[in-house]
Structure 1
Amino acid sequence: MPENKKQPLTEIAKVFLKLGAIAFGGPAAHVAMMDEEIVNKRQWMSREKLLDLLGVTNLIPGPNSTELAIHIGYEKAGWKGLIVAGSCFIFPAMAIVWILAILYVRYENVPSAEWLLYGIKPVVIAIIIQALWKLGKKAMKNIPTTIGGILATVGFFFGGDEVIILLVVGLGVMVYENFAKNKMQGALLLPFSGLLAQNSVNLTFIPSGLNIFLAFLKIGSLLYGGGYVLLAFLQRDLVENYQWLTSEQLLDAIAIGQLTPGPIFTTATFVGYLVAGNLGAISATVGIFLPSFLLVLLVNPWVNKIRNSQSASSFLDGVNTASLGLMAGVTFILIRTSVIDSLTLILTIVTTIIIFCYQVNSAWLVLGGGLLGFIVMNN
């Protein structure tokens, strides 16, 4: 497999523009689609390498799937690939959210897209199930990692903190495997605390472009846990502390982020536009995603060193299987909220069978699901 083969920037741009345009369903679905496109279809890297990159993204703040895209770009074309992959993955969602923000300000409501989600969500679940199966076979290498993955899923359902679960499982696997071999070296990989955090910035005045940038830079530097944690951050800072928008506007912004493909962090584009128009949209988007680019640039060179260390490698094995355990928990929640009637159940089962039995491009399945949803909801 051409692990070390570089790729032209145009090819990287093409891949991640496509993924950014069709990646509905949140981080779990994004990871599944990257696995299909990068590992299966193009063979740019091994599944083990993808898992290592995914494990590292879980230990730094920011949107995991976007950081995975940035990692892949860096692996395939250096710092230029890092910028191209991340930007192209973000851009389609940013553009769609920006347009919806303009319509929202004009008409004061969120355009309905129930038909779109009705058909697409069951397809996305099937894509995630396949990715869990493929990634799980690689991640669960032995009894300790298998137990770790199961415990991570249990911890998810008991409301455990995601970062703590990752660390506990990673350390547990590391201690078990190295203690058994009497090679305990004490190597630890701790989550980054956010090198660019702006805790002391006072933003209680007018929401200028710079202030909006700093507000979202802080969030992007500190936020673990995805979209629902993002909601809590925005509520506390932008609604309660700065009073830049109302709780109702914030909920509409989160809804838009979930309705559109790509990273839910493009909610920042919507919020920025509501607060300060086009300048606000740009400032908020750059602010919330900039830390991810910088953190990946700092962390990526250490991935191979971590894998080559006995202690750190077993820790990363634990983090990888814990990541999939959390992904399994998220998938169960998605099934409960997406499979709402007999038609969506049938669509989920049929799509799962198609994906496992035939080599079908996930983009066509997503588009087909959206078309089916349109037909059903408009008849």
Structure 2
Amino acid sequence: MTVETAGGTTPLTAPDHPSFAEVTAVFARIGLLSFGGPAGQIALMHKVLVEEKRWISETRFLHALNYCTLLPGPEAQQLATYIGWLLHGTKGGVVAGTLFIIPGFFVILALSASYALFQQADILTSLFYGIKAAVLAIVIEAVLRVSRRALRNGVMVALAAVAFIALFFFAVPFPLVLLAAGIVGYVGARQRPDLFAAGSHGGKAKSDIGPAVIDQNVPGVDPSWRRAVGVVAVWGSLWVLPWIGVGLVFGWGSSFASIYVFFSQMAVVTFGGAYAVLAYVAQEAVVTFGWLQPGEMIDGLALAETTPGPLVLVLTFVGFLAAYRDSLWLDPLLAGVLGAALTTWATFVPCFLWIFLGAPHIERLRNNKAVSGALAAITAAVVGVILNLAIWFGMHVVFNEVERVTWGQLNMALPVLPTIDWIALALCVLAGILVFRTRLDMLWTLALFGILGLAVGLLP
């Protein structure tokens, strides 16, 4: 690789390998600036790590992203962990992945406490009345954004349509939908790899960036069974020990134990990120456990949209409210903090396990077409999952009552038409215009609609 200079051409060499302190500083910066959901967070990492620092090549970045998209949990946080591992092994992965979470965790913790304390205040109710309309527009934009990337042919469109029908009309558990899509993609790619080729996930190939620190080989990669057993032992213990602790202190049937078990289960099945899992978590939190009131999950997503870090931190909000409202003998605020911490730990510790266990093997499968096919099919099915969520959100924002209808094998939620809220509908239309026509920054959009909500609250 060469670049032109006044004196001719000069070879462009890879930069020096970054020190651990440099990696820590850069990922701290990324963690503080990682607004905008997974699309914005991945774009930020690409800009900093591929284009500016040249610590990782375009090809390796996209390969790592492909693997992270296949995993349960937030792909952006797992991508940060993967790249940190490539740069400085396990300690680099731990630091990169943790710094991606920490700023958003403390912000969402403070917002959750404020929500729990002042939720009944008219001013907060009015604020979220407007913000919900903006969140709905953001979710719809996510459907279109992912669909443009994932639905490249008729097969992918069909996978998305089948996923939506299974979820919306028949209430099929979404992990089964994504598992089926992955199997279809894996098998299909072996027969017709042209139909199931994984895309670039929005990253532009930049041949003029120059060589990266990480190119062909990664020192210390050891995808052996001995290493795998050690990784599972360490991270499995870190995953299980808090559950044992809360069980011994508070009781195995306590709210804290239930919180930890539920969100540990979510960590295993949260394919597709926060948008994909939200409808299921909301249903379980409201109907099964009684942790939240209807519509509060949308409030939580609105809070998570305004904070740095993964959107799946909305689960931290759920864990806080669950423990706050069933605090046993603890002070409610202290219980809420404990519930939020348990939820966050149960959600993200498995993410490190998936990366440290699988990354060495994935590094040896960079050109495996079957794995790429499974990724492409799952990404297509996620479009149907997010579309289902968008409709579910829309019904709860625009209508005051939503009922579940069963007829034979059909099992779906439908709005009670006479309960339509025309002001909420108007706000949703306005939010859609701003999001799709003006490309107003997400934080400004949420702030604007929070102000509009307050204005509506002042109406007689």
The structure carrying a bigger strand percent of its residues is 2
The structure carrying a bigger helix percent of its residues is 1
Matched, 1:281 2:292: no
Alignment match, 1:318:
377
Letter in 2 for 1:82: G
Instruction: Give the deviation of 1:79 after TM superposition.
Output: 2.0
Instruction: Give the deviation of 1:166 after TM superposition.
Output: 0.2
Q: Which structure is larger by alpha-carbon Rg, 1 or 2?
A: 2
Q: How does 1:237-248 map to 2 (within 5 A)?
A: none
The worse-fitting range, judged by mean Cα deviation, of 145-154 and 226-235 is 226-235
Q: How does 1:335-374 map to 2 (within 5 A)?
A: 335-339=394-398, 340-374=420-454
Alignment match, 2:173:
161
Matched, 1:271 2:275: no
1:269 and 1:284 in contact (8 A); partners too: yes
2:30 and 2:44 in contact (8 A); partners too: no
Alignment match, 1:98:
113
Alignment match, 1:84:
99
Alignment match, 2:157:
146
1:69 and 1:89 in contact (8 A); partners too: no
1:257-279 CA-partner distances (Å, limit 9, x unpaired): 54341204422223334412254
Q: Structure 1 unaligned runs (5+)?
A: 20-31, 183-191, 240-246
Alignment match, 1:244:
none
Q: Partners of 2:353 and 2:112 in 1: how far apart? A: 29
Closer/same/farther in 2, CA of residues 91 and 48 from structure 1, 3 Å limit:
same
Instruction: Give the deviation of 1:149 after TM superposition.
Output: 0.9
Letter in 2 for 1:367: A
Closer/same/farther in 2, CA of residues 117 and 50 from structure 1, 3 Å limit:
farther
Instruction: Give the deviation of 1:321 after TM superposition.
Output: 1.1
Instruction: Give the deviation of 1:284 after TM superposition.
Output: 2.1
1:97 and 1:256 in contact (8 A); partners too: no
Q: Percent identity?
A: 17
Letter in 2 for 1:218: V
Residue in structure 2 matching 1:308, options 362, 367, 372: 367
2:316 and 2:341 in contact (8 A); partners too: no
Please state whether the residue corresponding to 1:217 is helix, strand or coil.
Answer: helix
Alignment match, 1:291:
346
Q: How does 1:197-236 map to 2 (within 5 A)?
A: 207=250, 214-223=257-266, 224=269, 225-226=277-278, 228-229=280-281, 232=284
1:179-222 CA-partner distances (Å, limit 9, x unpaired): 3469xxxxxxxxx9x95468x9697886389x776543322211
2:159 and 2:181 in contact (8 A); partners too: yes
1:127 and 1:355 in contact (8 A); partners too: yes
1:72 and 1:85 in contact (8 A); partners too: no
Residue in structure 2 matching 1:33, options 34, 37, 42: 37
Closer/same/farther in 2, CA of residues 124 and 43 from structure 1, 3 Å limit:
farther
Alignment match, 2:146:
135
Q: How does 1:51-90 map to 2 (within 5 A)?
A: 52=66, 55-57=69-71, 60=72, 64=73, 67-75=74-82, 77=84, 78-90=93-105
Residue in structure 1 matching 2:129, options 114, 118, 131: 118
Letter in 1 for 2:250: P
Letter in 2 for 1:222: Q
Q: Partners of 2:255 and 2:46 in 1: how far apart? A: 39
Q: Partners of 1:175 and 1:152 in 2: how far apart? A: 18
Alignment match, 1:242:
none
Please state whether the residue corresponding to 1:308 is helix, strand or coil.
Answer: coil
1:138-174 CA-partner distances (Å, limit 9, x unpaired): 1113222221111111111120110000011121122
Letter in 1 for 2:448: G
Q: TM-score by structure 2 length?
A: 0.60
Closer/same/farther in 2, CA of residues 88 and 56 from structure 1, 3 Å limit:
farther
2:164 and 2:384 in contact (8 A); partners too: yes
1:174 and 1:312 in contact (8 A); partners too: yes
Instruction: Give the deviation of 1:329 after TM superposition.
Output: 0.8
Instruction: Give the deviation of 1:338 after TM superposition.
Output: 1.8
Residue in structure 1 matching 2:32, options 10, 14, 20: 14
Letter in 2 for 1:70: Q
Please state whether the residue corresponding to 1:8 is helix, strand or coil.
Answer: helix
Closer/same/farther in 2, CA of residues 205 and 300 from structure 1, 3 Å limit:
closer
Q: Partners of 2:47 and 2:375 in 1: how far apart? A: 22
Closer/same/farther in 2, CA of residues 89 and 288 from structure 1, 3 Å limit:
same
Q: TM-score by structure 1 length?
A: 0.71
2:130 and 2:450 in contact (8 A); partners too: yes
Instruction: Give the deviation of 1:345 after TM superposition.
Output: 3.3
1:156 and 1:162 in contact (8 A); partners too: yes
Matched, 1:378 2:458: yes
The worse-fitting range, judged by mean Cα deviation, of 305-314 and 320-329 is 305-314
Alignment match, 2:224:
none
Q: Between Structure 1 and Structure 2, how many residues are aligned? A: 327
Q: Partners of 1:266 and 1:362 in 2: how far apart? A: 20
1:305-355 CA-partner distances (Å, limit 9, x unpaired): 566321111011111111121001110121222234444334333333333
Closer/same/farther in 2, CA of residues 232 and 335 from structure 1, 3 Å limit:
closer
1:35 and 1:50 in contact (8 A); partners too: no
Closer/same/farther in 2, CA of residues 38 and 374 from structure 1, 3 Å limit:
farther
Q: How does 1:319-334 map to 2 (within 5 A)?
A: 319-334=378-393
Q: Partners of 1:313 and 1:364 in 2: how far apart? A: 37
Closer/same/farther in 2, CA of residues 212 and 356 from structure 1, 3 Å limit:
closer
Closer/same/farther in 2, CA of residues 360 and 54 from structure 1, 3 Å limit:
farther
Question: What is the Cα-based RMSD across aligned positions, in Å?
Answer: 4.0
Closer/same/farther in 2, CA of residues 208 and 172 from structure 1, 3 Å limit:
closer
1:90 and 1:266 in contact (8 A); partners too: no
Q: Partners of 1:49 and 1:131 in 2: how far apart? A: 22
